Structure 1
Amino acid sequence: MRKAVVILLAKQFFKKTFSNKGLLILLFIFLSVLTYVTVISWVAFEKKHQVVEHHQDESRKSWDNNPDKHPHRMAHFGSFVFRAQHPLSIFDSGIESYTGNAIFLEAHKQHTANFSEASLSTGLVRFGDLNITMLLQLILPLIIFFLGYASITSEKENGTLKIMHIQGAKVKEILLGKSLGLFLVSALFFIPAFISLWSIVFLEEKDAINSSVAIRCLLITTSYVLFYIILSFITVIVSGKSQNSNKALLSLLSVWLLFFIITPKMAQVVGNLMYANLSKIEFKAAIEDEISKQGDSHNPNDPYFNDLRDSILKANNVTNVKDLPINYSGFVMSKGEEQSAKIYNKQHNKLINTYRKQNSITEGLVLLNPYLAIKNLSMSFSGTDFDTYVNFLSQTEDYRYKQSQYMNDLQMKFISNKATSSEGKINVVDKSYWKSAPKFNYKYISIHKTIKNQLLAICTLIIWFLLSFLFINKFSNRFKII
């Protein structure tokens, strides 16, 4: 294979494509829409970021400014935590519109995330929102198919393909040259999107060069470039195998509908039908039912906690809880919190595993569909995928549990066993201990773990690239040149 011939054919395709004024109009429209959605996404991110920081600060101030109070009353006073969006959500919003961003934390109760954008919007949100990735994942592939569907068939119809072959150009050189030319044309569409992507790094990150966001941007850029190379190969291969331009266009439109519209939607529907998940009410009912079977720490006559009381009295050689060296109520609350947390985590893990089984249908089709691969990679590296959201819920519950147990420890240590109520100004703890409670500090999933989670999607893009390149090199002799 001669590189000079491939490059010459790529230049020829590039110039020929740009001789059509319609392409310039299409490029102008695409870049105008891209600029619009980028600005809108950036403004929306900055606004949400400021709102989250404001409310998180206000929630913490409200917690810190509480007066001297009984620890258990403070535990039920609770606090809010808010999910900070990843800077790259400007590029790919993923499932951000459908997941809640605020959770109320209190003792003995695990609340769900609320205030998702979808819950506050009309039903039109079901159709998806216009963003950068919609242009790159759905619109640009369609443009590539339209630009390249006649790349080979037009040469057949004009008789120039046979002339090029007689003059010494091999079929695989022609196919690779056309693919390279089509990729270069498509680069005019996606390079501005990557410029906006990389601008996020330098404008949002102080140490841009060493930032993990920069590494994520590099992975996103590499993935999309590989994706568009694959699409260019597929377009030229279909054009080469088709008898005429009309059949090539119909074939590519069928590929687009099947890969980009039908398969993803059908996979979601099948997943929901095969693995039905509990509703919000059913989920809470399952937790309450199991807690009632295990024991209620707020019920002084509960059999489980009666046995617990007898065992601790025996261990301390006393006959009355008032003679214990710690506050018995705080001890019971601590054990009750431990028990309810285990039950919640068990039920929550079941629910998450159900969602993972639903998603497994889509993930199982990744090898057959490069669109699903790039979609998963884009969301994961942008910190807007399902795993990132589950990670937030996990960190939130861990923080809630530690905060509740901190209050229980204060009660055991400072509240008298003779106290009969949490009311009044006698059985209280100094307010300085509220400020001593650690702040919620959310950490995103590491890049290493993200790559591990999306290893199948990464391998899919590499396999599709190698197979399409191999197909052109090994089976190009089977292409008809007339």
Structure 2
Amino acid sequence: MHLNTQRLLARHVWHTVFRNRAVFWLFGLVGLVAGYAAWSGWTTFRQQKASQHYYQQEARRDWLSNPDKHPHRMAHYGHFAFRRPSPLSLFDPGMDRFLGNAIYLEAHKQNTVNFSEAGFSTGLMRFGDLSIAMLLQLLLPLLIFFLGAGSIAADRENGTLRLLLSQGVSWTNLLLGNSLGLFMVGLTLLAPLLVVAAVLWLMAQSGAPSVDEVIRFGLLIGFYGLYLALCCVVAVLVSAWSRTTKTALVSLIGLWLMTTIVLPRASQALGTYVYGLPSKTEFQTAIQADISKEGDSHNPDDPHYKSLKDSLITAYGVKTTDELPFNYSGYVMAEGEEISAAIYNQHYNTLLERFRQQNQFARATAFLNPYLALKNLSMALAGTDFLSYVDFQQQAETYRYELAQKMNELQMHHIPNKKLGPTEKAYSIDRKYWQDVPDFTDRPLSVGQVLPAEWVSVVAFGAWLLLLTFLVHRAAHRLTAV
């Protein structure tokens, strides 16, 4: 009986909404914007994928085309690491366009990711990138609030609410039935957008997505559906507590502004204030200061490396480094690389910890704002969040370190210790050794690694679900017809 009543009320909401011709024009306009967002996401994805593939091959070709050369010169010649765009980035680009997609890798130094689209764009990108995810996170709730403001308040104004209650319709049925009706209306926008996203997502993977990608997309559908349901219940509850539709609409718009603009900016600003970061100059200066304390591997008179030379001469029972069974300079370079990499990693880990603290602070506000919970989960599942960026940078650093040490190893075993005269040709090794260095290939995080990092957002969603269930139950016992 209760389900039948709720279905009748839901059907009534559906017919009431679509009886207004203006709604069709509104939905049509949203459809046009969504179409542009889908086209933009697909075009950007294809361009990024083609660009990454081309430049990665170009970097590899340049590396292999080097002639016979000294290994240490090759270590300083360096290489490039490019990040492949995630298939779901066409749905939610997240931080991709702000954080960059390429790193120049060279010996003795860790560089940051460069070539972000935001760096080549106007300031308009600061307001967000138009995408399907952005429409579902921002525009869909606003439409639901507009359409749901009068769901119960309008009946109270025209006297229909008193009539419904006198006929035995309970407040629980009214709240749930109207919420269900709004949810059905929201699905008319959500479902087509998700279908379009699914088609583009399949095309991005040539129709053969991995199991991990299928799980990611399935979870995205679930979380966006839950977010839509939460917005519908909130709209109906506010309408039920409001005396007029106008009051409900003003309250809902204020709530939308607070959750989508004020709270996100405030939490970000407060997190940055509480967990401050050093400037780029301060950060680089601190690294160079620590490296200087450990010594300069390019300076033969450096105290640290002079001590290292003495210990090697003693250990091998020789008189000079020229008599060592390996190239001494290569050994020193390997030692210097290990020391500098450890110092860089220590400073970067400290910096990343500050970023994590800022992000955790922002995540905690998801308990006040479900919009932030959805945004964090959406970026994480799309592979466009900060964690994915950090993982790429760490993979690139591992590759850089192994590349530098490979060149140092080649120098140790293939370059003689004998010092060259001023007229002698510089030592070099055969170019065939460049092929022994594999090309860089980034490996995206699995969904099993991504979700645990967003446990706060998942728990926040659950908390909001429980809270709204409680509020519906409480409102059903306290609301009146007047």
State the TM-score, normalized to the length of structure 1.
0.97
Structure 1, 191-200 or 405-414: larger mean CA deviation: 191-200
> Deviation of residue 422 (structure 1)?
12
> Deviation of residue 207 (structure 1)?
6.2
Q: Residue 9 of structure 1 corresponds to which residue in structure 2?
A: 9
Equivalent pair of 1:201/1:214 in contact (CA under 8 Å): no
Q: Residue 161 of structure 2 corresponds to which residue in structure 1?
A: 161
Structure 2: which amino acid aligns with 1:153?
A: A
Equivalent pair of 2:420/2:426 in contact (CA under 8 Å): no
Q: Residue 480 of structure 1 corresponds to which residue in structure 2?
A: 480
Q: Residue 308 of structure 1 corresponds to which residue in structure 2?
A: 308
Find the aligned partners of 1:419 and 1:126 in 2 and give their Cα distance: 56
Q: Residue 70 of structure 2 corresponds to which residue in structure 1?
A: 70
Distance of aligned partners of 1:60 and 1:189 in 2 relative to their CA distance in 1, 3 Å threshold: same
Q: Residue 129 of structure 1 corresponds to which residue in structure 2?
A: 129
Find the aligned partners of 1:71 and 1:90 in 2 and give their Cα distance: 41
Structure 2: which amino acid aligns with 1:376?
A: N
Q: Residue 178 of structure 1 corresponds to which residue in structure 2?
A: 178
> Deviation of residue 200 (structure 1)?
3.1
> Deviation of residue 426 (structure 1)?
5.3
Equivalent pair of 2:364/2:456 in contact (CA under 8 Å): no
Find the aligned partners of 2:446 and 2:421 in 1 and give their Cα distance: 46
Q: Secondary structure at the match of 1:114?
A: coil
Q: Spell out the pairing of 1:41-56 with structure 2 (5 A cutoff).
A: 41-56=41-56
Equivalent pair of 1:267/1:362 in contact (CA under 8 Å): yes
Distance of aligned partners of 1:207 and 1:143 in 2 relative to their CA distance in 1, 3 Å threshold: closer
Find the aligned partners of 1:419 and 1:328 in 2 and give their Cα distance: 11
Residue 331 in structure 1 maps to residue 337 in structure 2: no
Find the aligned partners of 1:43 and 1:386 in 2 and give their Cα distance: 23
| Superposed structure 1 runs of 4+ greater than 6 Å apart | 421-424
Q: Residue 213 of structure 2 corresponds to which residue in structure 1?
A: 213
Q: Residue 455 of structure 2 corresponds to which residue in structure 1?
A: 455
Structure 2: which amino acid aligns with 1:463?
A: A
Find the aligned partners of 2:336 and 2:8 in 1 and give their Cα distance: 75
Find the aligned partners of 2:28 and 2:208 in 1 and give their Cα distance: 31
Structure 1: which amino acid aligns with 2:213?
A: V
Q: Spell out the pairing of 1:106-117 with structure 2 (5 A cutoff).
A: 106-117=106-117
Q: Secondary structure at the match of 2:120?
A: coil
| Root-mean-square deviation over aligned CA pairs | 1.6
Q: Residue 361 of structure 2 corresponds to which residue in structure 1?
A: 361
Find the aligned partners of 1:84 and 1:257 in 2 and give their Cα distance: 35
Q: Residue 99 of structure 2 corresponds to which residue in structure 1?
A: 99
State the TM-score, normalized to the length of structure 2.
0.97
Q: Residue 235 of structure 2 corresponds to which residue in structure 1?
A: 235
Q: Residue 18 of structure 2 corresponds to which residue in structure 1?
A: 18
Find the aligned partners of 2:98 and 2:3 in 1 and give their Cα distance: 48
Q: Residue 417 of structure 1 corresponds to which residue in structure 2?
A: 417
Distance of aligned partners of 1:253 and 1:59 in 2 relative to their CA distance in 1, 3 Å threshold: same
Find the aligned partners of 1:318 and 1:435 in 2 and give their Cα distance: 35
Q: Residue 79 of structure 1 corresponds to which residue in structure 2?
A: 79
Residue 343 in structure 1 maps to residue 331 in structure 2: no
Structure 1, 2-11 or 191-200: larger mean CA deviation: 191-200
> Deviation of residue 424 (structure 1)?
7.0
Find the aligned partners of 2:82 and 2:49 in 1 and give their Cα distance: 10
Distance of aligned partners of 1:192 and 1:320 in 2 relative to their CA distance in 1, 3 Å threshold: same
Equivalent pair of 2:157/2:243 in contact (CA under 8 Å): no
Find the aligned partners of 2:180 and 2:422 in 1 and give their Cα distance: 75
Equivalent pair of 2:38/2:197 in contact (CA under 8 Å): no
Distance of aligned partners of 1:166 and 1:422 in 2 relative to their CA distance in 1, 3 Å threshold: farther
Find the aligned partners of 2:470 and 2:197 in 1 and give their Cα distance: 32
Equivalent pair of 1:142/1:256 in contact (CA under 8 Å): yes
Structure 2: which amino acid aligns with 1:259?
A: T
Q: Secondary structure at the match of 1:32?
A: helix
Q: Secondary structure at the match of 1:281?
A: helix
Find the aligned partners of 2:120 and 2:438 in 1 and give their Cα distance: 32
> Deviation of residue 370 (structure 1)?
0.2
> Deviation of residue 307 (structure 1)?
1.0
| Identical-pair percentage | 42
TM-superposition CA deviations, 1:127-157 (whole Å, max 9, x none): 2222222211111111110000110111111
Q: Residue 201 of structure 2 corresponds to which residue in structure 1?
A: 201
Q: How many residues align?
A: 482
> Deviation of residue 46 (structure 1)?
0.4
> Deviation of residue 206 (structure 1)?
4.4
Q: Residue 322 of structure 1 corresponds to which residue in structure 2?
A: 322
